[in-house]
Structure 1
Amino acid sequence: MINEQELLRIVEFIDSTRAPFTELIAGMSPDSDWALTSYLVRAKLRQQGVPISQLIQASGLTYGTAHRRINALIEEGLIDVAPASPGSKAQVLLPANQLMQGFEALALHVKSLLATLVGHREDSQRSEQYYFGEPRRSFEQLLPPTELLAFRGSPGKRLRFLFHDDNYFAALRNLWIDFRANAGRREDFQLAHLQELYEKALANGTRSESEFDIIALNYPWLAEFVQKGLIRPLNLDDQGASPNLRDFHPATLECVTYNDHLYGLPMYITVEALLARQDMFEANALRYPATPKDLLAVARRLHKPKRAQ
């Protein structure tokens, strides 16, 4: 599958590679079918309807030729005609499901080719295994801020972190201390196990001034911390001051979004697996739990501390 944001990125990318063909090579004619259909698809992904006059202009064809081609695409079931608004006599054009499915197939194909070419991936890899996100606008955005490199233990304020005590955050701490030119010290970090992290974060929220500058919250805690007023939305502008926000996969941004407000940035995703011992379930004639309630009931049945179980 491919999400709408990723599909839009790929269609825009294909557009940007096709344009120079007619601009740089004299005598070449633009592909009107691509101009018509890609314009419609991009408009739909931006939740916009397209009047026929606007699509004719986008086609690059003469009025009569464009009108005939659009009507032909409507008859072929590739373009739908719909009211501009409920009860309106004005009409807009939309890409039909068949056209959208074709563009999704094209996008997946292009995505796979790009990943194989640029990312040196094997042809056999599924395109779902990588994400065609927002491109970097300049190399400078890949570099650490120069003020961090110049910090080097100067007497100014240091950032204080509260993270989960696992290998990922331990490595992140070491990178900050070593790779960032000694911009931080080990004592600037507190690593806590999950329950302790939760309790420390809750307690920190009751302070008049936070003890930490950056805290890692577990995704299931987000709603509670928002409802208790312990965290505030970031209010980042993904079109202006924070253009790289779209580098994140939309699914990961949803994990830090509550009531359509962004409350943090995703650090990393883990997948938890719950395994059941078949012999214990068979010996006790128990079915595998299908709900959290079933799970707790089974746990109570099997948990026998006196027998070291």
Structure 2
Amino acid sequence: MNEYELQRVIRFLKGTRQPFVSLVASPEPDAAWNIVTHLIECEIGGQPVTVSTLVDVSELPYATALRRVHRMIDEGLILKRSRSATGKSFTLHPSPDLRARFETYARQIKCLLAETFGRSMPLEDESDVYFGGVPGSPPVDPGRAGERLRFLLHDDNYFASMRNMWVDFRSNRAIRRDFEMRVLPDLYERLAANARAEVSAFDVITINMPWLAEFASKHALAPLANFNEPSLINPADFQPMVWDTGAWQGTQFGVPIYVTVEVMAARRDWLEESGRTPPRTFDEVVSVARAYHAPERERFGVVWNAAPGMPLAHSFLFFLGACGRSIFGPGRGSGAAPIQIDGHAGREVLDYMHRLVEVSPPDVLTMEWKRGLDLFLHGQSALSYVWTMRAARFEYDVQSAVKRKVRYLPHPAGPGGSNITPMGGFLLAVPSNLPEARARRAFEAIASMASPEAMRVHAKNGFPVVPRFSVAADPEVLAGSPLISVVDGLAKRGLLSTRHRPEVPQYTAIESILGEVLHRALRRECSDGEALVEAQGAVDRLMAREQERE
């Protein structure tokens, strides 16, 4: 059970208790319930709680309430944490045991609700279903027992929300075990293994946009023309640049389920207080970051993706794009003309990366993206390179310290470049090794997941998803998320591009080379020039081998 579900269970229970108290029972306060629920809600929301607060919410006479609170402290149900050097000031928190017991109670309530509202599938565990917002109507029949659809999705907040809509106990579509969620490196390996199997273990799979060329060229994906009808998915309702991300050599293999843009998030309140302007170039990023960098106070100038492998490779390619370059020229396929990695722009990018390291957290070269996100979320960084899908947490996470304090900027320009901002995202696809009947049902599920109605639900919950014209133009959607307006504005100004990462079947191999070789330069194990020469040679040899095979 996640914190959002726990909050909804508490609200539901409060809503059912109030009519009973007002209509049936005598108006005697339930102090234990009032104190415990207030503690749990404040703990989830990161709000401080004091003794006087609990005395007030208990609804008991002052002396009686004070004794009740102190007894719960003595019993170890409530913990005191000092918030001053003297220890005279403190906040109150539920003990781990109290929180665990309350969550067990909430899970049991959740199961009872699922059974009461007629859960049609067998429920073996409360985590099989979701107790969240209002689900959409289920246009896809989940099938008889043993015939449910199985999904392989990226492990992020958008796909978790999508899964939750499907496993919501009111929709009867699926259970949580029907969904396998994998982070990017693991997702790629799982997709590759599934493609080699005689029969796919999954009905619907998620493809990272840069991977499409590889899986399509290996005949691992079924062409959508085998299933699509205008009544299911209308390509004209998608932004053309976005719809094209699902095509390879003129054949559509994937349906864009969401797009995400890497932007620069900046603390608007800090900039306004100091009279600084938002950074628009590499040099300005370093200048602003240096002004706020105070590692002795656990505050840093900037967080960005610099860990070895995929994270650093992405940063290098995106920064290269900010300098007006790409490692591949126009055109798709291995015949596209390569542009030198070992060139002036490559050296400019590595120089910028070295300067970023100086104003970053000390562990930036090994830091996972979740830690970087949390540092900015909790107010410990002035700037952050971040995907808009992840940045949604800044505005909607109950523990965010930066809510409504962030300005979202296009990618800062490098020397000779512009503010062209990289766009990525994911596609939903049908494996080619599925039996025909399953493949048809899989595509119908994709049509449901990518429908305007489903996208509106996600967008109104704060996810910056705008692949469809009809969703992007919805005033209610635009009003619901500042990030949607930001992405829409970048698109209208022509500042979005998918060209930062080469659209070739060898992309993941190129990414691996860049992410490992260039990381040695950032660790100062070799010079920037040596790293660029080595990476250039490795990519050249890779492409030469692929051309020989063709």
TM-score, normalized by length of structure 2? 0.31
Q: For 1:178, give the aligned amino acid.
A: S
- SS of the aligned residue for 1:67 comes to helix
Q: Is residue 86 of structure 2 the alignment partner of residue 109 of structure 1?
A: no
Q: Given the superposition, is the C-alpha separation of residues 9 and 169 from structure 1 closer, same or farther in structure 2, using an over 3 Å criterion?
A: farther
Q: Is residue 321 of structure 2 the alignment partner of residue 225 of structure 1?
A: no
Contact 2:260 2:387 in 1 (8 A): no
Contact 1:226 1:232 in 2 (8 A): no
Q: For 2:134, give the aligned amino acid.
A: R
Q: 1:62, CA displacement in angstroms?
A: 1.6
Structure 1 partner of 2:66 = 67
Q: Is residue 461 of structure 2 the alignment partner of residue 244 of structure 1?
A: yes
- The Cα offsets for residues 156-214 of structure 1, whole Å up to 9 and x where unpaired, read as xxxxx99676779949x837x324678559x9554449xx99xxxxxxxxxxxxxx996
Q: 1:54, CA displacement in angstroms?
A: 0.8
Mapping of residues 71-150 of structure 1, within 5 Å = 71-118=70-117, 120-121=119-120, 124-133=123-132, 135-136=133-134
Structure 2 partner of 1:178 = 231
Q: Is residue 95 of structure 2 the alignment partner of residue 6 of structure 1?
A: no
Q: What runs of 5+ residues in structure 1 fail to find an aligned partner? A: 140-160, 198-211, 247-260, 265-309
Q: 1:82, CA displacement in angstroms?
A: 2.1
Q: 1:37, CA displacement in angstroms?
A: 0.6
- Cα distance in 1 for partners of 2:97, 2:105 equals 12
- SS of the aligned residue for 2:387 comes to coil
Q: 1:124, CA displacement in angstroms?
A: 4.4
- Cα distance in 2 for partners of 1:97, 1:56 equals 21
Q: 1:95, CA displacement in angstroms?
A: 0.8
- Cα distance in 2 for partners of 1:37, 1:168 equals 53
Contact 1:115 1:121 in 2 (8 A): no
Q: 1:65, CA displacement in angstroms?
A: 1.6
Q: 1:3, CA displacement in angstroms?
A: 3.0
Q: Given the superposition, is the C-alpha separation of residues 215 and 69 from structure 1 closer, same or farther in structure 2, using an over 3 Å criterion?
A: closer
Contact 1:35 1:59 in 2 (8 A): yes
Q: Given the superposition, is the C-alpha separation of residues 39 and 123 from structure 1 closer, same or farther in structure 2, using an over 3 Å criterion?
A: farther
Structure 1 partner of 2:18 = 19
Q: 1:30, CA displacement in angstroms?
A: 3.5
- Cα distance in 1 for partners of 2:56, 2:387 equals 42
Q: 1:99, CA displacement in angstroms?
A: 0.7
Q: Is residue 38 of structure 2 the alignment partner of residue 39 of structure 1?
A: yes
- SS of the aligned residue for 1:57 comes to helix
Q: For 2:461, give the aligned amino acid.
A: N
Query: Once superposed, what is the RMSD of the aligned Cα atoms?
Result: 4.8
TM-score, normalized by length of structure 1? 0.51
Q: Given the superposition, is the C-alpha separation of residues 20 and 223 from structure 1 closer, same or farther in structure 2, using an over 3 Å criterion?
A: farther
Q: Given the superposition, is the C-alpha separation of residues 26 and 103 from structure 1 closer, same or farther in structure 2, using an over 3 Å criterion?
A: closer
Q: Given the superposition, is the C-alpha separation of residues 179 and 70 from structure 1 closer, same or farther in structure 2, using an over 3 Å criterion?
A: same
- Cα distance in 2 for partners of 1:168, 1:11 equals 45
State, as a whole percentage, how many aligned pairs show the same letter. 25
Q: What runs of 5+ residues in structure 2 fail to find an aligned partner? A: 138-208, 262-308, 322-384, 398-403, 405-457, 464-482, 488-550
Structure 2 partner of 1:58 = 57
Q: Pick the structure with more strand per residue.
A: 2
Q: 1:227, CA displacement in angstroms?
A: 5.0
Higher relative contact order (CA 8 A, sep 6+): 2
- Cα distance in 2 for partners of 1:227, 1:119 equals 52
- Cα distance in 2 for partners of 1:76, 1:61 equals 19
Contact 2:29 2:60 in 1 (8 A): no
Q: Given the superposition, is the C-alpha separation of residues 223 and 104 from structure 1 closer, same or farther in structure 2, using an over 3 Å criterion?
A: farther
- Cα distance in 2 for partners of 1:169, 1:87 equals 68
Contact 2:49 2:92 in 1 (8 A): yes
Q: Whose Rg is larger?
A: 1
- Cα distance in 2 for partners of 1:43, 1:169 equals 50
